[in-house]
Structure 1
Amino acid sequence: MQILIIIAMRKKNLSNFTFKRKVKKEKSKMFWSNKSKNVFRKRKKKIKINIKFNKLYLYYFILIFLVSGLLFLTLGKTFKVQNIEIIRSDEISNLNIAYNTLESIRNKSIFFVKEKEIVEKLKKYQKNLNKVEVNKDLPNTIKIKIGSTNPLFNTIIDNKKYIITSNGTLVNSEHSENLINLQIKGKTKSNNSYIIPDYKTIISQNNVKKIANIYKEIKENLLGVKINFLSYYPIEREIHFSINEGTLLIFDLTKDEKKQIKNLIVFNSENSQKIKESLIYIDLRIDKKIFYCEKENEYKCKSNLEYLYKKD
Structure 2
Amino acid sequence: MAPEFNDLAAFLAVARAGGFRDAARASGVSASGLSEAVRRLECALGVRLLNRTTRSVAPTEAGQRLIERLAPALADMEAALDVLNVFRDTPTGTLRLNVPAGVSRAVLLPILADFSRQHPGITVEVMVEDSFVDVLSAGCDAGIRYDERLAQDMVAIPIGPRVERFATAASPAYLDAHGRPAHPRELLEHACLRVQFASGAMPVWEFERDGDIVRIDPTGPLRARPGAAFDLVIQGALAGMGVVHTYEELLRPHVDSGGLVPILEDWEQPFSGPFLYYPGRRNLPTPLRAFVDFVKARDAG
TM-score, shorter chain, exceeding 0.5:
no
Q: Looking at both structures, which has the greater relative contact order when contacts are Cα pairs under 8 Å and sequence separation is at least 6?
A: 2
Q: With structure 2 as the length reference, what TM-score do the two structures score?
A: 0.23
- Structure with higher Rg: it is 1
Q: With structure 1 as the length reference, what TM-score do the two structures score?
A: 0.22
